[in-house]
């Protein structure tokens, strides 16, 4: 009996032990589950931004865009062809607003004409350029009038090169500068703090300085719209000087049709071709042709009747025997100078290598972007996309830095001086 009682007691003890063990396991599992749930919740809170943080990020983004839009509006405000009483202050305000932006905000600047490149693109050292807007002119002034460029290096080398050549040729005359493009004047002033006279400002400066003899040398290529607007502007000042004369543009008289050429066009054709051949490191144009290389000079183009000048330049190249030299224009006016037409001409002539170079006084926006840019519609991109050529290269240099071109302008100035 005693043995039976002992067995029963041992069995009871084992049963309690097992129950206790089961109870602890359930409690541990519950605690573990609670801990894991808490950790998951915390992880979720860390992974997912709070509503407050999302709103803050949205507010920051909106604030960045608002600041960028303000700058874009200020740039568009000065991207105009007319100067007014507020222009100086507007240029200053636009630059100060740009400088206040963060790098990220600057990338957001986008307007009708505004973009980050307006202030952000490096075009060279503006301090190397002389705006030639000083007083103490004297009796004789030689006013050099250009369309202008916001590309600092090109303005110094091309326009500045012509101005310096004229000052050297005519030391008894004071050389001064004027641009016809107020958009460019505003751009340079806002970005670099350099003030360049427009035509009216330059003429007013001449009057105030008591200039007696005024000769105006335009750096324009031809008797186009810009040249005609210049002559109209000068007309109202003629009675304020003892003598006012306007010299010929680079290519001289226009002529009646594409076959009419002149000595100026011949001189320009020879000068620019020689410079292009030299830059490409060929001994001669014939050596380039033997290497299956063609040169394409890209001008601006115009809807003005003077557009025939581009066709005349092609005629001039052919008259000189320059069979591997072609003339084109950004605007495609005349039609035979469009990029598509020039590509077809070079292809049909059998040349496999192409060198593009601007037929422009300055190597500015058109040369850097329309000719040599990365966009699909640049001439470089279109020539490459045609798959007709083994290589397509560019030479980014304006006509103004070529000595022979500078001397041709000097000759035109001399002709105006000697004219009765």
Q: Cα separation of 315 and 318, whole Å? A: 5
Crossing angle for the helix pair 87-99 and 182-192, nearest 10 degrees? 50
Check residue 409 and give its pLDDT.
98
Domain count, the chain: 3
Shared domain check, 327 and 280:
yes
- Arithmetic mean of pLDDT, 16-20: 40
Check residue 14 and give its pLDDT.
40
Q: Cα separation of 192 and 185, whole Å? A: 11
Q: Cα separation of 175 and 169, whole Å? A: 11
Q: Is 109 left (phi over 0), alpha (psi -120 to 50) or beta?
A: beta
Q: Is 80 left (phi over 0), alpha (psi -120 to 50) or beta?
A: beta
- Arithmetic mean of pLDDT, 407-411: 98
48 within a domain of the structure (yes/no): no
Shared domain check, 323 and 234:
no
Asked whether residue 10 carries a pLDDT value surpassing 80, the answer given is no
61 falls in which pLDDT band (50, 70, 90)? confident
Check residue 216 and give its pLDDT.
98
382 within a domain of the structure (yes/no): yes
- Arithmetic mean of pLDDT, 330-343: 95
The owner of tokens 């599992």 is 29
The owner of tokens 């007319």 is 82
- Arithmetic mean of pLDDT, 204-230: 96
pLDDT in tens, 272-328: 999 999 999 999 999 999 999 999 999 999 999 999 999 999 999 999 999 999 999
Domain housing 276: 263-399
17 within a domain of the structure (yes/no): no
111 within a domain of the structure (yes/no): yes
171 within a domain of the structure (yes/no): yes
160 within a domain of the structure (yes/no): yes
Shared domain check, 278 and 236:
no
**Close Cβ partners of 250 (under 8 Å, ≥ 6 residues apart):** 219, 220, 221, 222, 264, 268, 361, 399, 405, 408, 409, 412
7 falls in which pLDDT band (50, 70, 90)? very low
Shared domain check, 62 and 108:
yes
CB 343 within 8 A of CB 383: yes
207 falls in which pLDDT band (50, 70, 90)? very high
Tokens standing for residue 112: 């009708």
13 falls in which pLDDT band (50, 70, 90)? very low
Shared domain check, 280 and 356:
yes
The CATH number of residue 310's host domain is: 3.40.50.1400
Shared domain check, 69 and 95:
yes
Shared domain check, 223 and 132:
yes
pLDDT in tens, 369-406: 999 999 999 999 999 999 999 999 999 999 999 999 99
Report which of residues 139 and 33 the model is more confident about.
139
Check residue 53 and give its pLDDT.
62
Shared domain check, 299 and 239:
no
Instruction: Work out the percent of the chain whose per-residue pLDDT is above 90.
Output: 84
Q: What is the DSSP letter of 142?
A: E
Shared domain check, 299 and 220:
no
Quick one: 41 exposed, middle or buried, by C-beta within 10 A (0-12, 13-18, 19+)?
Answer: exposed
Buried/exposed code over 397-415 (b: 16+ C-beta within 10 A; e: otherwise): bbbbbbeebbebbbbbbee
Shared domain check, 73 and 183:
no
Check residue 420 and give its pLDDT.
74
Nearest of 341, 369, 342 to residue 154 by alpha carbon: 369
Shared domain check, 155 and 63:
no
Asked whether residue 1 carries a pLDDT value surpassing 80, the answer given is no
11 within a domain of the structure (yes/no): no
1 within a domain of the structure (yes/no): no
Q: Cα separation of 74 and 26, whole Å? A: 72
Asked whether residue 46 carries a pLDDT value surpassing 80, the answer given is no
Asked whether residue 94 carries a pLDDT value surpassing 60, the answer given is yes
Shared domain check, 390 and 269:
yes
């Amino acid at each position: 009996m005693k043995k039976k009682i002992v067995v029963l007691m041992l069995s009871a003890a084992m049963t309690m032990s097992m129950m206790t063990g089961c109870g602890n396991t359930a409690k541990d599992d519950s605690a573990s589950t609670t801990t894991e749930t808490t950790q998951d919740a915390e992880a979720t809170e860390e992974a997912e931004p709070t509503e407050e943080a999302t709103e803050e990020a949205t507010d920051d983004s909106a604030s960045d865009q608002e600041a960028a839009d303000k700058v874009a509006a200020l740039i568009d405000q000065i991207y105009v062809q007319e100067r007014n009483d507020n222009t100086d202050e507007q240029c200053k305000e636009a630059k100060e607003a740009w400088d206040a932006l963060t790098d990220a905000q600057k990338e957001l600047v986008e307007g009708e004409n505004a973009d980050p490149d307006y202030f952000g693109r490096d075009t060279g050292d503006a301090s190397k350029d002389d705006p030639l807007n000083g007083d103490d002119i004297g009796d004789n002034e030689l006013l050099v009038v250009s369309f202008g460029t916001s590309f600092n290096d090109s303005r110094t080398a091309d326009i500045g090169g012509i101005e310096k050549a004229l000052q050297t040729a005519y030391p008894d005359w004071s050389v001064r500068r004027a641009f016809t493009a107020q958009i460019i004047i505003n751009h340079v002033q806002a970005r670099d703090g350099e003030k360049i006279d427009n035509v009216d400002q330059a003429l007013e400066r001449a009057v105030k300085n008591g200039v007696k003899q005024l000769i105006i040398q335009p750096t324009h290529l031809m008797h186009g719209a810009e040249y005609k607007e210049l002559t109209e502007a000068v007309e109202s000042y003629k009675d304020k000087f003892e003598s006012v004369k306007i010299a010929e543009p680079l290519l001289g008289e226009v002529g009646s049709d594409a076959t009419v050429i002149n000595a100026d066009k011949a001189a320009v054709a020879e000068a620019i071709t020689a410079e292009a051949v030299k830059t490409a490191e060929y001994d001669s144009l014939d050596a380039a042709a033997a290497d299956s290389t063609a040169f394409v000079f890209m001008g601006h183009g115009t809807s003005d009747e003077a557009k025939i000048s581009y066709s005349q330049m092609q005629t001039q190249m052919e008259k000189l025997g320059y069979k591997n030299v072609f003339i084109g224009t950004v605007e495609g006016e005349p039609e035979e100078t469009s990029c598509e037409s020039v590509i077809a001409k070079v292809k049909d002539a059998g040349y496999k290598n192409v060198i593009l170079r601007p037929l422009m006084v300055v190597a500015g926006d058109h040369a850097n972007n329309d000719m040599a840019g990365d966009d699909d519609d640049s001439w470089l991109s279109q020539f490459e996309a045609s798959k007709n050529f083994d290589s397509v290269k560019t030479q980014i240099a304006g006509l103004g830095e070529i000595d022979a071109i500078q001397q041709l302008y000097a000759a035109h100035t001399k002709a105006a001086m000697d004219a009765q």
